[in-house]
Structure 1
């Protein structure tokens, strides 16, 4: 299995679930659920449970929330190497949901991520970890200057860099480094933001993003078609319907985790996409952003039992104009 260095967000997720429709300006009965999330951290836990040696580098404070992240990393078998700011709060995301799951409001306290300068990612310790890694995976929670420095270091070493978009607001931080990415995982809104052009069909994404300078990527659309391209090949697969959905949180991170697991094993593009779709489906079947029972055997069983995703006929590779 591969040695993977993961850098990015690992924070506390607080979800308030209302028992009845929200009443503004009033006390609303409900319950809080507290867990740990973050795009990079979700992917790191998935990849570690699939048998890879994963090292996590994530900013955090000197508080109880930091201890939650540490315990979650240990439970997943991750080598944890935090960037610690003892006088700061660990980032958190707090959301209030209606009984049907729709968002009422949310508060993202992510200021700590903005405090990570590029030099904190270029220490001798981190450079040694870059030298030992076979894949670098990072999300867009860190500042653009820090991400650019990571991309430069990866390119200098010939180290593949896979990236997670995180959100339309943050994906633009990858724009100066697009040509240095082996893969950028995003949804359709994030793909439109990074390219400046919407796609008429999912099969158009490889050409559109190729013109933007990206050599490889994944574009998802909820439960809709998933487009992938790499090495001059492209594919668009339609996931089979899922009978039961408990929580879609983390499904996108699971998609890229499964895809990278297949890619590291030398799989072909369509097979890697199918692997990512299977892991996303497994994740959506449970509450929370990851499955604590994930294993190579569970993923293999899900792949064997899953109806084969349907290819879209016009998804042949297209050379960027």
Structure 2
């Protein structure tokens, strides 16, 4: 089933430096440099478009060559790109340093432009029409807290399901006041701990903790360990599939979110949707890019047999 998905959030440039040897903190490390368009919302949007959905993206962007590169990537992925362009500003960027195995050492996010995406922009006629036309709204933590609150209220008033991507421990707290209005929040364990103020010894307790904060549904990825997800009265745990060499961890969480949402739109239950998310993430982990250009529903279906069944939590 094809869905109409409207995405608000980060669409910028990702710069990644990979250390070629053992990491030496506080010293010069030999390595290589790579950059591509990215951003949590944008990565998920490209994945959802490649999985066959009609995706529209709204985000602020600078009037520079970087913004043009993002627009070209959106067009290549089949996204209906509707940016707010600030001609006198630069497009945001995310710069990361990775270890040889692809794990993150440190990152710097230059996201000042996103502060200009104020709640009043949601009242623009074209934006309201896009919201009215959507089957699902997806946003990420790059948006200002007040804009997230206004979008959540608008989605609630219109009866539109709202999904969200945490982005980072520092940004996930922007969702704290609107958790009861979010249908699915995708986060890693550090982000879940940041919004909950606690990290349980038993990860199976995450659904109860987050439900206690009012969240309707969500998923907590835990690297190579079991992912926990819940929605309504259902909760499940899924061990990630075995993967050979990891090319890059960037974008894996965004791919997981896209795979889960795509399956839920198609009417699959949560435990099966988690398997779709895990398959999409595995494809991305083996790609040098933040989104795997070869991702498709057919490829995802081919990888599904490699994903174990989810365990229903009692």
Is TM more than 0.5 here? yes
Structure 1 partner of 2:159: 158
Structure 2 partner of 1:311: 311
Cα distance, 1:115 vs. partner? 2.1
2: distance between equivalents of 1:110 and 1:167? 13
SS state of the match for residue 94, structure 2? strand
Q: Tell me the alpha carbon deviations over residues 116-173 of structure 1, each in whole angstroms, 9 at most, x when there is no partner.
A: 2111122111000110000000001011000001001100100000011111100010
CA contact (8 A) 1:202 1:236 kept: no
Structure 1 partner of 2:16: 15
Cα distance, 1:244 vs. partner? 2.5
Cα distance, 1:295 vs. partner? 1.0
Structure 2 partner of 1:301: 302
Structure 2 partner of 1:264: 265
CA contact (8 A) 1:239 1:309 kept: no
Structure 2 partner of 1:56: 57
Q: Tell me the alpha carbon deviations over residues 192-250 of structure 1, each in whole angstroms, 9 at most, x when there is no partner.
A: 11112212222111100000110111111012111111121111111232122111111
SS state of the match for residue 220, structure 1? strand
CA gap 1:192/1:128 in 2 versus in 1, 3 angstroms = same
CA contact (8 A) 2:10 2:140 kept: yes
CA gap 1:55/1:21 in 2 versus in 1, 3 angstroms = same
Structure 1 partner of 2:150: 149
The size of the alignment, in residue pairs, is: 313
Structure 2 partner of 1:223: 224
CA contact (8 A) 2:15 2:96 kept: yes
Structure 2 partner of 1:319: none
Q: Tell me the alpha carbon deviations over residues 240-282 of structure 1, each in whole angstroms, 9 at most, x when there is no partner.
A: 3212211111111111111101100111110011111111111
2: distance between equivalents of 1:128 and 1:220? 34
Structure 1 partner of 2:40: 39
Structure 1 partner of 2:285: 284
CA contact (8 A) 1:240 1:309 kept: no
CA contact (8 A) 2:239 2:308 kept: no
Cα distance, 1:61 vs. partner? 0.2
State whether structure 2 residue 192 is matched by structure 1 residue 191: yes
Structure 1 partner of 2:256: 255
2: distance between equivalents of 1:188 and 1:127? 34
Structural mapping, 1:85-164, within 5 Å: 85-101=86-102, 103=104, 105-164=106-165
Segments of structure 2 that go 5 or more residues without pairing to the other structure are none
Structure 2 partner of 1:202: 203
CA gap 1:245/1:158 in 2 versus in 1, 3 angstroms = same
CA gap 1:278/1:107 in 2 versus in 1, 3 angstroms = same
Cα distance, 1:97 vs. partner? 3.5
1: distance between equivalents of 2:111 and 2:282? 28
2: distance between equivalents of 1:224 and 1:23? 27
Higher mean Cα deviation, 137-146 or 90-99?
90-99
Cα distance, 1:94 vs. partner? 1.7
Segments of structure 1 that go 5 or more residues without pairing to the other structure are 317-321
SS state of the match for residue 51, structure 1? coil
Cα distance, 1:31 vs. partner? 2.9
1: distance between equivalents of 2:181 and 2:169? 20
